[in-house]
């Protein structure tokens, strides 16, 4: 037969996953997902760490001249914006995001 090996049996033409693998467990009333406070802390941490990371890349690469270029300035501004957005979400509390 075309495409089949004598050593390996052929897979069924239409493979369907068992029902228990195809369904997801429903969310219960206790599972609220991510809160605005948690999202705010995560965004603020990401912004601060990203800002420090971009500056540290420039400081570690001492052999190259030129300082902070336009792309790095754009990323630094973006990290500041992400940090401000995260800090603004923290006071909104435990409501779902």
The pair phi, psi for residue 96, each rounded to 5°, is -65, 145
The tokens describing 46, both together, are 């990401």
pLDDT at 5: 57
**Residue ranges in the chain modelled with pLDDT below 70:** 1-32, 62-66
Nearest to 90 by CA among 45, 33, 53: 45
For the question of whether the overall pTM of this predicted structure is more than 0.85, the answer is no
CA distance 82 to 73: 14
Query: Could you state, in order of their start, the residue ranges of all structural domains in the chain?
Result: 33-91
pLDDT at 24: 59
CA distance 45 to 89: 12
**CA-based torsion, 4, 10, 12, 15: positive or negative:** negative
The tokens describing 78, both together, are 């973006």
Q: What is the DSSP letter of 92?
A: G
pLDDT at 67: 75
């Amino acid at each position: 037969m075309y495409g089949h090996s004598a050593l390996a049996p052929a897979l069924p033409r239409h493979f369907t996953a068992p029902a228990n693998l195809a369904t997801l467990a429903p969310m219960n009333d206790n599972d609220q997902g991510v809160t605005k406070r948690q999202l705010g802390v995560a965004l603020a941490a990401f912004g601060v760490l990203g800002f420090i990371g971009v500056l540290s890349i420039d400081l570690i690469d001492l052999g190259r001249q030129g300082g902070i270029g336009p792309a790095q300035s754009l990323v630094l501004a973006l990290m500041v914006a992400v940090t401000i957005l995260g800090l603004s979400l923290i006071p909104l509390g435990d409501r779902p995001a």
